[in-house]
Amino acid sequence: MTFGCFKDREPIVTAGNPFSRFGRRLALLVICLSFGGCAIQQQSRQASFDGAYVGGDYQQAAKLASGYGGNNTAKGESGSLLWSLQQATALQNAGDYAGSIRQFDATEAWFKRFDLEADYQQWLNQVGAVLSNDAALDYRGTVYDAIMVNTYKALDFLALGNDDDARVELNRARDRQRRAGDFFAKEIQAEQSALYDKENSTENVDVGGAVLRAQQLVANQDNYLDAWRLYPDFINPFATWLDGLFLMTVGPAPGDLNQAADALKATAGMVPKNAVVRQDHDWAEQLASGTLSRSQLPDTVWVLFENGLGPVKRQVQVGLPIVIGDRHGYTAWAGFAYPKLVYRRKAAQALRVSLGADDWQDTTVLSNMDAVVSTEFAKRLPGVVTRAVISSITKAVLEYQLSRKAGPLAGLLGFAYQVTTLGADTRIWSSLPKSIELAKLERNGANRLQLSWSGGPPTTVQLPASHFVLVWVRLPEAAAKPAITVIPLGSH
């Protein structure tokens, strides 16, 4: 919650105000100083974690996340879904794949708890958000969070040589993508039920009109989201491609090659300009039809590159005039806040890869994670704005009623409640990449891979003696230490 805006802020109530403007602003200052600490602490913790992570000090980032979330790394216990997500990715980059799996397992316990909540509990959560704000509730994660958890766990298991559990996680990621629409519809239904009840219980205010004005205002300010609709709702090409690659190169079961062809066909449809995905799909189709066998495929290296960091959220505050339709014709300002996505830069234009001195090629985009995040964010934003507006109106009406029926001091308490609970939920899994990119090379007997970015000196990676190899590179910032994992496929 940002309270530094009091300097130029008008009083929230503009008629019948028993206090002077100076008195109101003085009260606001006292309130901000008293209650702003939690928001400042959250911002400070996020900045500390991001600083360590961007700097490539992944062990320190994991330690910070563990402390902030109250997590027990050794036991895989989690006190916070968000900080377990952050800790798991930091451990992954630090090479502690087993520790990463434990924390990702802990996040799945959170997702399961939220998935199994009864309708009345979801209704109570929505009512609670109206009475306070979204940031006061547990961080529940997103659909793309859950899909990335299973996909990342699959990579962790592959890095540990555990193909069986990697397959389980890829199956779960596939199932999450399949069920995402139904899950989201259930969530929206619970939201609408709670908001409908609250809207109809707010007397003497045109809540529907206020919500409509707010939605139009936000839509005009946030039309940038329309440009990010690149993929189907709740589908991540990265998860689908990795599933197809695994089934094509590792999957031993009957029907695996047919499933691989289906997955890679779907991925090629989402990223039609990616030549690597098109060739992978062609290979899978030939393998599935029996016109080609795995042993006939060349020794191949796939390079998976996580480039930069994905978006973060920033708070936007808006003033909205409302009329309380009693005999006094009272006008109030119902300020509300909502989150806005802020996009961060790439670590490099692309990762340059080579198996020989003159054989350089650039990675190309497999999954634009900015688009994945933005697509779901855009679907959720109308509900977020509706909750924020109804919450603000409820508090403005409460302040008005307290002031009229119980006197100025009670009105001031209502005003304090309104101000201290004005805020947007800006929590987000900030260690996800900006984009996930792909390159593919035939080895031709080479045992070393060269990596280069941003004009810097090449980094050499030793390749194992394996028919198929996946080299997974994470680079949050150009100057950061890259995290590199070399995974033999089908050699375990």
What are the structure tokens assigned to 193, written together?
């039920």
Q: Residue 7 has what DSSP assignment?
A: G
Q: Under DSSP, is residue 110 helix (H, G, I), strand (E, B) or coil?
A: helix
| Residue 465 buriedness (CB in 10 A; 0-12 / 13-18 / 19+) | exposed
The SS3 call for residue 340 is strand
What pLDDT, on a 0 to 100 scale, did the predictor assign at position 14?
30
Find out whether 396 and 13 touch, Cβ atoms under 8 Å.
yes
Residue recorded with tokens 């970015």: 453
Residues shown for the chain: 492
Question: Is 21 within the bounds of a domain?
Answer: yes
In a domain, 461, yes or no: yes
Residue 324 counted as domain residue: yes
How many domains does the chain fold into? 1
Tell me if 77 is assigned to some domain: no
pLDDT of 418: 67
Contacts of 33 (CB under 8 A, 6+ apart): none
| 104 domain-assigned | no
* DSSP 8-class letter at 299: P
d(CA 143, CA 183): 9
Model pTM? 0.85
Tokens of 286: 């030939």
Q: Is residue 327 part of a domain?
A: yes
Residue 315 phi, psi (nearest 5): -85, 140
- How far is 28 from 12, CA to CA, in rounded Å? 11
Number of Cβ atoms within 10 Å of the Cβ of 220: 8
User: CA torsion sign, 44 to 47 to 48 to 49?
Assistant: positive
What does the pLDDT read at residue 7?
34
Q: Name the one residue in this structure whose structure tokens are 């069986």.
A: 164
Question: Which of 437, 151, 434 lies closest to 273, judged by CA?
Answer: 437
**pLDDT in tens for each of the 492 residues of the chain?**
333 333 333 333 333 343 344 344 344 434 443 444 456 677 788 889 999 999 999 999 999 999 999 877 777 777 899 999 999 999 999 999 999 999 999 999 999 888 776 554 555 555 555 556 667 778 889 999 999 999 999 999 999 999 999 999 999 999 999 888 776 666 656 555 545 554 554 556 777 788 888 888 888 887 778 778 888 888 999 999 999 999 999 988 889 999 999 999 999 999 999 999 999 999 999 999 999 999 999 999 999 999 999 999 999 988 877 766 555 556 667 778 899 999 999 999 999 999 986 789 999 999 999 999 999 999 999 988 988 888 888 777 776 666 666 666 665 666 666 666 777 889 999 999 999 999 999 998 999 999 999 888 899 999 999 999 999 999 999 989 999 999 999 865
- Rounded CA-CA distance 383/391 in Å is 12
For residue 380, being part of any structural domain is answered with yes
Structural domain including 303 reads 4-35+117-489
Q: Is residue 100 part of a domain?
A: no
